[in-house]
């Protein structure tokens, strides 16, 4: 790339970033001309003549798995030709070195036919991570001849430190892989059996509905909820009549246990330039995980996507959701909600928990928290007060 072109691109980039608008507020300063959080770091990185870009994939692993650490040197003619010693470290949550190695970076002589590359991969290594659970840091720095350093973080989970699941799980739906996963984790579960059973159960609904499907199985499940069961709809597509693969949102959640005229839809939040922010409040479902504000996009990147729940008639608890305040409109749709229904309750979820069970530890952590929380979602006193309501109400979930 020509140096003059680089300078021109940098000036144009700075000019665009320095502006602000009253419409979408997507620039670096706000309406009162104060820098938005993190902008100082953006400018420092963008204007640096010499810096390290460090990458680790995947960003979530279980203890005993492998990660790939890469370090790319960005050098805008800041280093003269020569050999430079570099130290690469991986530091565990106890501030102990899980990896420590010295390497040499060679900056070649500039010739008429070849310029120094702006970016060069100088380190790539797959390594076993068998240490304590928590946040790890991959750090790269020059030890002599230059002052640049860089780092990134990744996370390690340990099955032995996951929350213990207290209730027995009743598995509803056609998902053999989930059944195998529950067994592999040593969690007590049994398949759902039709029939009237009053009392508190924790039912995990996932995948395709059980045979014969349709109105009969969903009405029976709704009746189980009114009798005191607590249901987790782990996959929102379970409540959609048909496939959710066309991308033509919204999809009516026609099997959700709401009155016919009040059923919500599976919607999609904007995820491009004008993107929605995902939030999670402090709640037992997020116990032991980052929460209490905007979600950490690196930590939650595997379970977050654009799916939301739109047009809910009411919510007893909104645990997690999106907030879209830029671009052409405004929306604030939830992602995890909890609803009371007579003597029982049910949870709706659109996070990609099911897709990442066994590969992304936070997905397992969230599911375990959901199971434990829903086991106590309805107290005995509430069930006594609500006794008989199910008999007095019609069954508005019937599709006929």
User: Tell me, what's the pLDDT at 26?
Assistant: 52
User: Domain check: are 252 and 133 in the same one?
Assistant: no
Q: Report if residue 5 sits inside a domain.
A: no
The pLDDT of residue 199 is: 67
Give the integer Cα–Cα distance in Å for 215 and 236: 17
Rounded to the nearest angstrom, the gap between the alpha carbon of residue 145 and the centroid of all alpha carbons in its chain is 40
pLDDT of residue 196: 64
For the chain, the C-alpha Rg in angstroms (whole number) is 26
Residue 179 forms part of a structural domain? yes
360 within domain boundaries: yes
Helix and strand numbers, DSSP H then E, in the chain: 7, 20
* Distance, CA of 231 to CA of 200 (rounded, Å): 10
Same domain, 287 and 327: yes
CATH code at position 298: 3.40.50
Q: Which of 159, 191, 226 is the last residue of a domain?
A: 159
Q: How far is CA 23 from the centre of its chain?
A: 29
| 104: three-class secondary structure by DSSP | strand
Instruction: Note whether 244 and 321 are same-domain residues.
Output: yes
60 and 187 belong to one structural domain: no
The domain containing residue 210 runs over which residues?
A: 163-392
Residue 10: inside a domain: no
Residue 57 lies in a domain: yes
Q: Based on the fold, state whether residues 24 and 70 are members of the same structural domain.
A: no
Closest Cα partner for 116 from 150, 85, 74? 74
Residues 168, 25 within the same domain: no
Which of 143, 159, 175 lies at the terminal end of a domain, its last residue?
A: 159
Q: What is the reported pLDDT for 385? A: 37
Last residue of a domain, one of 104, 139, 159: 159
Write down the pLDDT at residue 24: 46
Predicted structure pTM score = 0.86
Is the same domain home to 193 and 339?
yes
Does residue 13 belong to any structural domain of this protein? no
Residue 2 in domain? no
Mean pLDDT by 10 residues, the chain (400 residues): 48 49 56 78 84 96 97 92 95 96 91 83 96 97 93 96 94 94 95 78 92 89 91 94 75 90 88 83 96 94 92 91 79 92 93 96 97 79 42 42
Residue with tokens 């997690």: 320
341: nearest Cα among 197, 233, 263, 230: 230
Asked if 102 and 179 sit in the same domain, the reply is: no
Specify whether 192 is located in the same domain as 267: yes
Q: List the one residue out of 77, 73, 80 whose CA is nearest residue 1.
A: 77
In this prediction, residue 389 carries a pLDDT of 41
- Statement to judge: residues 84 and 188 lie in one domain: no
Is the domain of 149 the same as that of 167?
no
d(CA 270, CA 52): 32
Q: How many domains does the chain have?
A: 3
Residue 400 in any domain: the answer is: no
Same domain, 273 and 381: yes
- Which CATH number do you get for residue 117? 2.60.40.1930
């Amino acid at each position: 790339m020509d140096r003059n072109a680089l300078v021109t691109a940098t000036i144009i980039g700075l000019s665009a970033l320095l502006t602000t608008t009253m419409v979408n507020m997507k620039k670096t300063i706000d309406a009162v001309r104060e820098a938005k959080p993190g902008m100082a770091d953006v400018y420092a990185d963008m204007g640096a003549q010499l810096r390290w870009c460090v990458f680790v994939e995947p960003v979530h692993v279980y203890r005993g798995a492998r990660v790939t650490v890469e370090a790319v040197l960005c050098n805008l003619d800041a280093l003269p030709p020569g050999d430079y010693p570099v130290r690469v470290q991986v530091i565990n949550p106890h501030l102990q070195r899980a990896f420590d190695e010295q390497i040499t970076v060679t900056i070649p002589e500039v010739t008429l036919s070849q310029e120094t590359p702006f970016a060069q991969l100088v380190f790539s290594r797959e390594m076993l991570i068998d240490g304590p659970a928590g946040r790890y840091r991959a750090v790269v720095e020059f030890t002599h001849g230059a002052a640049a350093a860089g780092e990134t973080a990744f996370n390690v989970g340990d099955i032995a430190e996951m929350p213990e699941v207290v209730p027995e799980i009743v598995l509803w739906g056609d998902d053999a892989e989930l059944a195998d996963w529950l067994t592999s984790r040593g969690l007590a579960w049994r398949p759902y059996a039709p029939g009237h059973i009053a009392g508190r159960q924790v039912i995990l609904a996932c995948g395709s509905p059980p045979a014969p499907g349709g109105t009969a199985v969903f009405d029976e499940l709704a009746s189980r909820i009114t009798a005191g069961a607590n249901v987790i709809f782990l996959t929102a597509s379970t409540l959609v009549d048909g496939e959710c693969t066309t991308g033509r949102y919204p999809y009516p959640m026609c099997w959700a246990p709401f009155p016919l005229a009040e059923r919500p839809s599976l919607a999609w939040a904007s995820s491009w330039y004008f993107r929605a922010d995902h939030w999670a409040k402090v709640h037992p479902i997020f116990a032991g995980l980052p929460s209490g504000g905007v979600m950490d996009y690196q930590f939650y990147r595997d379970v977050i996507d654009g799916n939301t729940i739109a047009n809910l008639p009411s919510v007893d608890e909104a645990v997690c959701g999106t907030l879209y305040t830029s671009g052409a409109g405004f929306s604030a749709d939830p992602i995890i909600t909890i609803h009371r229904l007579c003597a029982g309750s049910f949870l709706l979820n659109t996070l990609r928990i099911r897709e990442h069970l066994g590969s992304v530890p936070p997905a397992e952590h969230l599911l375990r928290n959901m199971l434990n929380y829903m086991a106590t979602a309805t107290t005995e006193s509430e069930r006594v007060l609500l006794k008989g309501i199910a008999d007095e109400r019609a069954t508005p979930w019937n599709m006929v």
